[in-house]
């Protein structure tokens, strides 16, 4: 079958319109996507489970229904399940496990007309801000193959940036949509908490995590949110109601907005000059567009926030391992997981129940404080990341530090976890890379990476806007304006050349 030569020139909505008009078939689009995977993925290592047979069958049955009818799509190999298709979650322990049912969000993608062609790479349990699981190896950044594509939706980020598909699924518990979007130079929105359904669980990471898409265009993200929003029947809370559609919001020029900006990290970090300069550049752009931009630092307590955030994530990691044991049907050992994952769970077992509750309350109090500090502002601008995309394995412990962690993990000596410096250096290096993104996860606010700046090395440098709780529409309206003012769709990485 002939391939669609102009595939790169369209976003997902554009491809769907061609399908509806009969100018291209869903079968041709799927074959083009498959050809892209076969040509590019040997370098990128973004795909972990090809689903070619299922995708071809779905394309043959395409009825042109849904906003994305006949459009190739990528599903992150974490949380969302396809019945009969393995879900590995970047983890050796899950190898061979196959879910029996589709999850709700995946059903909504399918109902929107999207055809899932492959599942994409993620770090183990989505814990790391880089995608380099032991079981599959590192996913490469299409702008520089020696560097990370980010995480935890790094497989999707790399594949979308390389135009394997115009849009793909991701999840964001500490920045995991926005981080790879920033690393790969694409658009990534983390919606308001509970805007899209979290399933099969009732919530992930105590409400920090929510799932959506990474996309080449802003309007694709908005239309995907229109197609998938709405809580699950078992949801413990709901996102605020909004008027109109998110797609319409992207087409409307926003009123003159009042936007705060700062570069103060929420987690311990010394941000790179490229990330600071990007904010300065975007401030000028916003002022040129008629917005009021005011510098207003948040006055965080970085060490306190980092400790509280890690406590909640570690406790959830321990729970994830216990639930994995129930699904797989056997007891897990240290050899079944990466050292960092196992040590996080061990740390959690040293916590008391009150430690975890106090950590959650600490983050809730910071949410209340930030709400007051930024009252009267429509959005807050910061860098997305603390550094440009880092080289592969830059965040992994090395030498004696790595050996000590491995020995303790294998021995199960929980008392040794209290040794000074055992995990602090590793944790601090991770937060140094992502000192901004976790804030919107514990506050629940919508937050987006907008790809407006590239540095002197040709690497994308993300800038991030965080909006008021429930006000995804204003962010998407602003994103649409920024995309029109400084288009990025035709800026393609060398891997696409």
In order of their start, the domains of the chain are 7-255+475-496 (3.90.1300.10)
* Beta-carbon count within 10 A of 364 CB: 13
Instruction: Report the C-alpha gap between 38 and 164 in whole angstroms.
Output: 10
pTM beyond 0.85:
yes
Query: Which residues are marked as active site?
Result: 76, 152, 176
Instruction: Report the C-alpha gap between 213 and 7 in whole angstroms.
Output: 19
In Å, how far are 340, 404, 417, 425, 488 from 400, measured between CA atoms?
A: 15, 6, 15, 12, 44
Tokens linked to 136: 């599959």
CB contact at 8 A, 63 and 111: no
Instruction: Report the C-alpha gap between 243 and 29 in whole angstroms.
Output: 34
What's the pLDDT score for residue 420?
59
Instruction: Report the C-alpha gap between 291 and 277 in whole angstroms.
Output: 19
DSSP E strands, 322-478: 379-383, 447-454, 460-467
What's the pLDDT score for residue 134?
97
CB contact at 8 A, 384 and 462: yes
Any residues with CB less than 8 A from the CB of 100 and at least 6 apart, and which? 83, 84
Print pLDDT tens along the chain (497 aa): 789 999 999 999 999 999 999 999 999 999 999 999 999 999 999 999 999 999 999 999 988 899 999 999 999 999 999 999 999 999 999 999 999 999 999 999 999 999 999 999 999 999 999 999 999 999 999 999 999 999 999 999 999 999 999 999 999 999 999 999 999 999 999 999 999 998 777 788 999 999 999 999 999 999 999 999 998 888 888 999 999 999 999 999 999 999 999 999 999 999 999 999 999 999 999 999 999 999 999 999 999 999 999 999 999 999 999 999 999 999 999 999 999 999 999 989 989 999 999 999 999 999 999 999 999 999 999 999 999 999 999 999 888 778 778 877 888 767 666 655 666 777 888 999 999 999 999 999 999 999 999 999 999 999 999 999 999 999 999 999 999 999 999 999 998 76
What's the pLDDT score for residue 198?
85
What's the pLDDT score for residue 231?
82
């Amino acid at each position: 079958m002939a391939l669609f030569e102009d595939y790169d020139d369209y976003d997902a909505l554009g491809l769907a319109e061609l399908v509806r008009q009969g100018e291209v078939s869903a079968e041709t689009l799927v074959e083009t996507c498959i050809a892209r995977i076969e040509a590019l993925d040997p370098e990128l290592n973004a795909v972990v489970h090809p689903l070619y047979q299922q995708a071809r069958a779905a394309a043959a049955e395409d009825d042109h229904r849904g906003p994305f009818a006949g459009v190739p799509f990528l599903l992150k190999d974490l949380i969302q399940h396809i019945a009969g298709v393995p879900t590995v979650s970047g983890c050796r322990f899950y190898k061979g496990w196959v879910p029996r049912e589709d999850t709700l969000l995946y059903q909504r993608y399918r109902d929107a007309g999207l055809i899932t062609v492959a599942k994409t790479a993620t770090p183990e349990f989505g814990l790391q801000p880089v995608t380099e699981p032991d079981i599959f190896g590192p996913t490469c950044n299409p702008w520089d193959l020696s560097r990370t594509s980010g995480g935890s939706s790094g497989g999707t980020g790399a594949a979308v940036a390389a135009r394997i598909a115009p849009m793909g699924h991701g999840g964001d518990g500490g920045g995991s949509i926005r981080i790879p979007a920033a690393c790969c130079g694409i658009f990534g929105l983390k919606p308001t908490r509970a805007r899209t359904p979290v399933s099969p669980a009732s919530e992930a990471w105590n409400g920090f995590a929510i799932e959506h898409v990474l996309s080449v265009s802003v309007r694709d993200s908005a239309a995907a949110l229109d197609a998938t929003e709405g809580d699950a029947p078992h949801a413990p809370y709901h996102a605020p109601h909004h008027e109109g559609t998110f797609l319409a919001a992207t087409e409307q020029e926003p009123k003159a907005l009042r936007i705060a900006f700062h570069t103060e990290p929420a987690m311990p970090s010394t941000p790179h000059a490229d990330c600071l300069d990007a904010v300065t550049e975007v401030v000028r752009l916003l002022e040129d567009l008629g917005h009021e931009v005011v510098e207003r630092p948040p006055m965080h307590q970085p060490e306190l926030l980092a400790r509280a955030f890690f406590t909640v994530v570690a406790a959830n990691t321990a729970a994830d391992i216990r639930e994995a044991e129930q699904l797989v049907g056997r007891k897990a050992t240290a050899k079944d997981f990466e050292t960092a994952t196992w040590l996080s769970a061990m740390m959690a077992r040293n916590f008391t129940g009150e430690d975890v509750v106090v950590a959650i309350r600490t983050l809730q109090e910071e949410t209340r404080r930030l709400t007051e500090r930024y009252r009267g502002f429509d959005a807050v601008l910061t860098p997305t990341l603390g550094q440009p995309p880092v080289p592969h394995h830059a965040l992994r412990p090395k030498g004696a530090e790595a050996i000590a962690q491995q020995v303790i993990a294998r021995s199960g000596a929980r008392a040794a976890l209290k040794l000074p410096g055992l995990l602090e250096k590793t944790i601090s290096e991770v937060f140094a890379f992502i000192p901004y993104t976790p804030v919107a996860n514990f506050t629940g606010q919508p937050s987006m990476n907008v790809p407006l700046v590239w540095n002197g090395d040709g690497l994308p440098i993300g800038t991030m806007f965080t909006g008021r709780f429930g006000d995804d529409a204003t962010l998407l309206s602003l994103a649409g304006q920024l995309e029109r003012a400084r288009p990025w769709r035709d800026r393609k990485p060398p891997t696409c050349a």
